[in-house]
Chains A and B, each alone.
Chain A
Amino acid sequence: MSENGTLIKVDKLTKHFPITRGIIIQREVGAVQAVDKVSFEIRKGETLGLVGESGCGKSTTGRTILQLYRPTSGKVYYGDADLTELKGEELRRMRRNMQMIFQDPYASLNPRLTVGNIVSEPLEVHSIGNARERRERVQELLRLVGLSPHMINRYPHEFSGGQRQRIGVARALALQPEFIVCDEPISALDVSIQAQVVNLLEELQETFGLTYLFIAHDLSMVRHISDRTAVMYLGKVVELATRNELYTHPLHPYTQALLSAVPIPDPSKEGKRQRIILEGDVPSPANPPKGCRFHPRCPLAIDICREVEPEWREVAPDHWVACHLV
């Protein structure tokens, strides 16, 4: 399904948010290590799922790739271009290729603008077409995402969550991007509507050959849509593999624990499913554990885990993991 060309290469990407104190002179007293030395590739036309608990840095990863946050260190290559080096007009032009779909359909649309204005804004900003052409394009986009073009003059508050998410999708598609970060696009929606939105995203991917980074907080959500899946824990990607490989041969203890929480559709196997219950809470990313960040909760932890950070390596073709035991 996926062609093998790499579209985006993320190299030791790090994003720390400084914690400051003081009123007049602000001192840095520490940093939230939201994303720490993360490396992976996204291939043309694929959907890479990114999964992890709340607060583990998934959104930050997505935003830093898109340069909405400037990375603390590390590189993001889009084709040959290093996005982290781009500024001003160059970055603006590059952004036409990359878009984002947001988690909260209520916060992601400006309540003061009509749907027509929201969807045509990207075209206006990049001076594409005249007013009439833009209006036609907006109607076409609305149709594409399954909304009636008659709704063009309405305001966001007149729509349901699912419809709003479709408006967000139409806005993201306006500039005909290649790559879209979908940041938990369905987790704020009713279960009955989630499938519709996922199907829409899949159809659009097929039609336009889009590449997705699809963020979700549990494995069952991305199982359906992703070609490969990355698992994140406390600012680190701990395992990355093709979908089947990850679900059948999870290597990292954290992935195994997550998977054990996913119900198996086959009742004969579901009965035998062993849940691995993780103890303790996720530590604060402002003060992550030394060595392997998962060691305080890892059922298999050994001495070296407390001291040495496990290396991120490809243990089998297309199967990356960071654990001393693998």
Chain B
Amino acid sequence: MAESVALDQPLDESTARKGRSPGQDAWREFRRNRIGVAGLIFIIFIILVAIFAPLMSPYGYATQNNLNSRAKPMTAYTITTDYLPNCHWAGTPLEWGCTIFFTGSDALGRDLWSRTVYGTRVSISIALVASTVSLLIGSIYGTVSGYAGGRIDNFMMRIVDFLYAVPILPLIILMQVYFKALARQGVREGLTGAIIELNQQMGGMLFLFIALGALNWIGMSRMARGQVLSYKNKEFIEAAHMIGASNSRIIFRHLMPNILGPLLIAETLAIPGYIFTEAVLSFIGLGVNPPTPSWGQMISEGYQGLRSNPHLVLVPGAALTILTLAFNFMGDGLRDAFDPKLRGRK
């Protein structure tokens, strides 16, 4: 092994072997997990779809064609001259690009394929923003609480306990109802007005972000605190105190990198929940604002005609299921890779 290298030999940077960090080890382990990797690839694909949605959809998500409402999949598009300008593929007007509905159209004659493609934007933004918000708030809150210890910890955790006992979902629903009512009344003044305005511009997603982030940071902060407690009395933390490292250095350089793995995994596994909650809220009309397409809302619009037009539910439903599964598979794969106790092979 490397011990045989002569000690007094001058160091040549190029021969100093790069070590493998625990993170790199976990990544190697993850790559062996086929289902996890498939989930990851699918998620990356969906993110690309969300970014390049205009390139993947022949129509705008709000473009209506009342000559073709509730069209079955693969039916031809009835082109009249006044619809022709709406007809484009990747921005270029193309007559054949609009000749067919891949997956049919909804009650207003909007292309279901285009709406499903644009729907990825809602689900992916919810997934990314809600998880980032909850991870940031939760890990900082939990770390501060656990690291401070004593009275401060006690106080901060009692707040968390209290919030845990409050039924947050009904609160979110109330909040949504309230703001939506104000928005309908056309309130534009003051802070409420500004919030409503911003929410409108984000297609109604602002409240969803806030709501979902708020729903989940609590669990996250408890977990972060537990992790911190298990590390803060480790000798390497004492060693850091001994060399005079500041508290922020200890938190960010020594604690955070060690506790972040499990938190990230927990957050990944929580994402399907966010996507689902968004779908549920949109289903009951408290999610994004029409005409922004969200899968939950599409299901809600389609389910009344379920018997005659099952595709209106099946298409967004399938998209929702597959994306959720992909996040679950990836999360499981990450957990197996990061937790050596669950590792089967070596």
Contacts and interface: CB of A to CB of B under 8 A. Distances in A.
A168 B244 CA distance: 15
Given A102-B238, A110-B236, A110-B254, A95 B19 contact: no
A273 interface: no
B165 interface: no
A196 interface: no
Contacts, number: 109
B18 interface: yes
A84 B89 CA distance: 75
Contacts of A148: 2-3, 5-7, 9
B242 A99 contact: yes
B154 A104 contact: no
Contact of A107 (B11, B21, B23, B235): B235
Interface in B218-254: 234-236, 238-246, 249, 253-254
A111 interface: yes
Interface in A91-135: 92-93, 95-96, 98-100, 102-104, 107-115, 121-122, 125-126
A80 B131 CA distance: 54
A125 B244 contact: yes
A95 B243 contact: yes
B5 A150 contact: yes
A157 B22 contact: yes
Contacts of A139: 11
Contacts of B158: 24
A153 to B, nearest CB: 5
A158 to B, nearest CB: 6
A59 to B, nearest CB: 10
A103 B235 contact: yes
Contacts of A275: none
Interface residues of B, number: 37
Contacts of A146: 7
Contact of B16 (A68, A104, A112, A150): A150
B16 A152 contact: yes
Contact of A121 (B7, B238, B240): B240
B231 to A, nearest CB: 10
Contacts of A96: 244
Contact of B244 (A24, A126, A157): A126
Contacts of A24: 154, 158
Nearest to A149: B11
A129 to B, nearest CB: 15
Contact of B15 (A92, A125, A150): A150
Contacts of A110: 236, 240, 254, 257-258
A65 B253 CA distance: 26
B245 A125 contact: yes
B236 to A, nearest CB: 5
B235 A111 contact: no
Given A95-B244, A103-B235, A121-B243, A112 B11 contact: no
A155 B241 contact: no
A320 to B, nearest CB: 29
A155 B236 contact: no
B236 A26 contact: no
B222 to A, nearest CB: 15
Interface string B130-155: 00000000000000000000010010
Contact of A158 (B6, B19, B23): B19
A322 interface: no
A66 interface: yes
A58 interface: no
B236 A108 contact: yes
Nearest to B16: A150
Interface string A143-181: 100111111111101100001000010010011000000
Contacts of A92: 244
A121 B241 CA distance: 11
A154 B22 contact: no
Contacts of A109: 236, 239
A213 B253 CA distance: 29
Contact of B22 (A66, A111, A122, A174): A111
A104 B6 CA distance: 27
Given A110-B254, A114-B19, A150 B11 contact: yes
A108 B239 CA distance: 7
Interface in B4-38: 5-9, 11, 15-23
Given A146-B7, A175-B243, A153 B236 contact: no
Contacts of B249: 125
Nearest to B21: A155
Contacts of B21: 112, 114, 155
B318 to A, nearest CB: 41
B159 to A, nearest CB: 12
A151 to B, nearest CB: 6
Contacts of B15: 150
Contacts of A147: 7
A86 B172 CA distance: 50
A202 to B, nearest CB: 19
Nearest to A158: B19
27 contacts: A26-B151, A93-B244, A96-B244, A100-B238, A107-B235, A111-B22, A111-B258, A112-B21, A112-B257, A112-B258, A114-B21, A121-B240, A121-B245, A143-B7, A146-B7, A148-B6, A150-B11, A150-B15, A150-B16, A150-B17, A152-B16, A155-B20, A155-B22, A158-B20, A163-B3, A171-B243, A175-B243
Given A149-B16, A153-B16, 19 more contacts: A68-B238, A92-B244, A100-B242, A102-B235, A104-B235, A107-B235, A110-B240, A112-B257, A112-B258, A121-B243, A126-B244, A148-B6, A150-B15, A150-B16, A154-B19, A155-B20, A155-B21, A174-B243, A175-B243
Interface of A: 24, 26, 63, 66, 68, 92-93, 95-96, 98-100, 102-104, 107-115, 121-122, 125-126, 139, 143, 146-155, 157-158, 163, 168, 171, 174-175
